[in-house]
Structure 1
Amino acid sequence: HLLLLTLSFSVSAQISQFKATFIKAQQENKQVTVILTNGNTYVGSIISVEEESAGVETKDGVFNFRYDRIKNVKIYNPDDKSTGWRDNPSKNKLFITQTGKMLDKGSGYYQNTFIFFSNFSYGITNGISVDAGFSMFPGLGIENQMFTAGAKIGTSLNSTLYVSGNIKYYRVFDIDEGITSLFGSITYSKSQLDLTASTGVGFADNSSSNALLILGGQYRISERFAFLSENIIFPSGDAGSDALLSFGGRIIGSKSAFDLGFFGIEEILFPFVSYTIKF
């Protein structure tokens, strides 16, 4: 009963905040950006503010938005065009690894990498998400494919700092002993720039690896495109280290994202291709 009461209070507080934003925009004769739970984004002027919904006149016509169908609403700033941009479906990850940001409650995505690798992620709450993945190599039986399962918890410390912890299990092909990884991430987010630092270790056969360090970032230059970099620094022999460096871009759709980049280590360079669709 306490959990239901807490959830009910949280939803009620959020709806009150949405309504207050609509009222403020109407009083100040300003436009708003409305992001719905299905990912669609609208910019327009306030026509009416009712108990359960608000009327907004957009370039596509007048819409009556129910508060319980709204993910976020903010006052549109004409001097900052990014306030009218659609949400980034892949805001919680770089090319491969996770950032400090979380999936929203009830949202998820399917990611396909190199055709042969599939992964599903889902936000149970705003602070907890789960994921599972598998490979699909032709000619190999199901017992020789790779399987993964993981969970992630996180929160925002303030409007610019996000932290998360991630645990993931890997069953690699026909190897009996699986691998488990533990990672922690912190992301600094300001305007359209996200900078992420992560560290983690792997466990297998009752032993652990030395810690990896991941440094990455995402810079969104327009509504539909962002530059992306993910750099993995891992220990090597004689107290040295090697680095897997990457750079590329992300094409952002209303419910999808297409990543294209290149990873390089020493003199070896190989492409990275991935497609993400939100559900």
Structure 2
Amino acid sequence: MNKFILVCCLLGTAFFSVYAQDDSRQSSPQMVIIYLEDKSEINGELISENDASIVIRSESLGLLTFQKNEIRRIIRLDPKGRIPNPNPTRYFIGQSAYTLPKGEGYYQNIYGVFNLVSYGVTDRLSLTGGLELISTFSGNPLLFANAKYGVPVAPKLNVAASVSYLTIASSIADVSLGTINGLVTYGTHEHQLTIGTGYAFAQGEIDNSGVITVAGITRLTGRLALITENYLLPGESSVISGGLRYIAKKVTVDLLYFEGGFPAIDIVLKL
């Protein structure tokens, strides 16, 4: 329990320290990367934008105007000129209260065997489905599904409800496991802290002993962020973890170390 509180305090200190520095730089010009439908890429300063078009100033090409139907994707850099965290909706296993924007998705691979695909059905509703590879080869794949509905309640505060379901393809009628979670996230995509609580269920029966989760991420450099994911079982033990997230334009890689010597690695590709 003392270790759990210590990790939370350290995360909170790092989070608010770096977050305060970012808030002081919000007056910087908004830099963007525009990916066109023809797969070309343009970098520049955002001058104006509306529903139909966007105007940017390129250092080499000057003022450029693009119609929105010419654009495949827009990446908005942060005040330090860094690419945004492409994976702000989840940590390693746990989730934040952020949801995927409508039409966006990602593929996550854990340990090379757990495969998950998530998709933003609307700006508030995200769905995830996946399977475990080794069990698939045996003919009885382990299946996973999740639905998360999130709502922004303030500029830096989101809440969400999440339901996860786990079963075996050949025994769907007999195996029914899952969790029901409530999540609160404070912060931005780059610096956030999530507190949640949840209950497990099996075969239609809900376990009365809940689990408290505390997780977060804070950006350290252009490519690295500190990440932690922790679980507190009231009256029992806690599960503590900490590590680093490597950030690229469309990819994140998490390297965590769980208390007791258990390493964890995953890769997430934004679709």
- Pairwise TM-score range, normalised by the shorter structure: 0.7 to 0.9
Residue 173 of structure 1: how far off its partner (Å): 7.9
- Tell whether the 8 Å contact from 1:54 to 1:65 is kept in structure 2 after alignment: yes
- Tell whether the 8 Å contact from 2:35 to 2:42 is kept in structure 1 after alignment: no
Which runs of 5 or more structure 1 residues have no equivalent in the other structure? 1-29
Read off the aligned partner of 2:194 and give its amino acid letter.
Answer: T
Q: Cα deviation per residue 1:60-105 (whole Å; 9 max; x = unaligned)?
A: 645533345487787x88xx41xx3222111011111111111111
Aligned match of 1:91: 88
Residue 137 of structure 1: how far off its partner (Å): 1.1
Residue 31 of structure 1: how far off its partner (Å): 3.8
Q: Per the alignment, do residues 269 and 51 of structure 1 end up closer, same or farther by CA in structure 2, a change over 3 Å counting?
A: closer
Structure 1 residue ranges, 4+ long, deviating more than 3 angstroms after superposition: 35-38, 40-43, 48-52, 59-65, 67-74, 172-175
Q: Per the alignment, do residues 50 and 122 of structure 1 end up closer, same or farther by CA in structure 2, a change over 3 Å counting?
A: closer
Structure with the greater relative contact order (CA < 8 A, sep ≥ 6): 1 or 2?
A: 2
Q: Per the alignment, do residues 54 and 150 of structure 1 end up closer, same or farther by CA in structure 2, a change over 3 Å counting?
A: closer
Q: Per the alignment, do residues 49 and 192 of structure 1 end up closer, same or farther by CA in structure 2, a change over 3 Å counting?
A: closer
Residues 171-250 of structure 1 aligned to structure 2 (within 5 Å): 171-172=167-168, 176-189=174-187, 192-209=190-207, 210-235=209-234, 240-250=235-245
Aligned match of 1:115: 112
Q: Normalization by structure 2: what TM-score?
A: 0.76
- State the aligned residue count: 235
- Tell whether the 8 Å contact from 1:228 to 1:249 is kept in structure 2 after alignment: yes
Q: Does 1:153 align with 2:149?
A: yes
Q: 174-183 or 194-203: which moved more?
A: 174-183
Q: Cα deviation per residue 1:154-175 (whole Å; 9 max; x = unaligned)?
A: 1111111011111111015876
CA RMSD of the aligned region, Å?
A: 3.0
Aligned match of 2:65: 64
Classify the secondary structure of the residue corresponding to 2:30: strand
Read off the aligned partner of 1:125 and give its amino acid letter.
Answer: T
Q: Normalization by structure 1: what TM-score?
A: 0.74
Identity among equivalent positions (%) equals 27
